[in-house]
Amino acid sequence: MELTELVKESLSTLALNKLRTGLATLGIIIGIGSVITLISLGQSGQKSVQNQIESLGSNLLTVEPGSASSGFVREGFGSGTTLTHADANALANSSEITTISTVSPELARRAQVVAGRNNENTQIIGVTPTYASVHKASIASGVFISQRDVDASTKNVVVGPDIVTNLFGEGSNPLGQTLRINGIAFNIVGVTESKGGTGFQNPDTYVYVPLTTAQSVLFGVNYLSTISVEAKNSNVMTEAENQIGYFLLARHKINDPTQADFSILSQSDILGAVSQVTSTFTSLLAGIAAISLLVGGIGIMNIMLVTVTERTREIGLRKALGAKRKTIITQFIVEAIILTAMGGILGMFFGLGASFIISKIINLPFTVSFSSILLAIGVSGATGIVFGWYPAQIAARMQPIEALRYE
Q: How many CB atoms lie within 10 A of CB 279?
A: 13
pLDDT, tens only, 19-42: 777 777 787 788 778 778 877 877
Q: What is the pLDDT of residue 405?
A: 56
CA distances from 99 to 54, 251, 265, 291 (A): 20, 18, 16, 51
Q: What is the pLDDT of residue 69?
A: 42
pLDDT, tens only, 110-137: 999 999 889 999 999 999 999 998 888 8
Q: Per-residue pLDDT for 59 more than 50?
A: yes
Mean pLDDT of 365-391: 73
Q: What is the pTM for the complete model shown?
A: 0.62
CA distances from 180 to 148, 157, 190, 206 (A): 21, 10, 15, 14
pLDDT, tens only, 191-207: 999 886 655 568 889 99
Q: What is the pLDDT of residue 125?
A: 95
Integer Cα distance of 181 and 195 in angstroms? 23
Q: What is the pLDDT of residue 73?
A: 36
- Burial annotation 63-88 (CB, 10 A radius, 16+ → b, else e): bbbbbbeeeeeeeeebebebbbbebb
- Nearest Cα residue to 210 out of 159, 141, 130, 154: 154
Mean pLDDT of 255-268: 83
| Inter-residue contact 86 to 174 (CB < 8 Å) | no
* Beta pairing partners, 73: 70
Phi, psi values for residue 219, rounded to 5°: -120, -10
Percent of the chain whose pLDDT exceeds 90: 27
Q: What is the pLDDT of residue 113?
A: 94
Q: What is the mean pLDDT of the chain?
A: 80
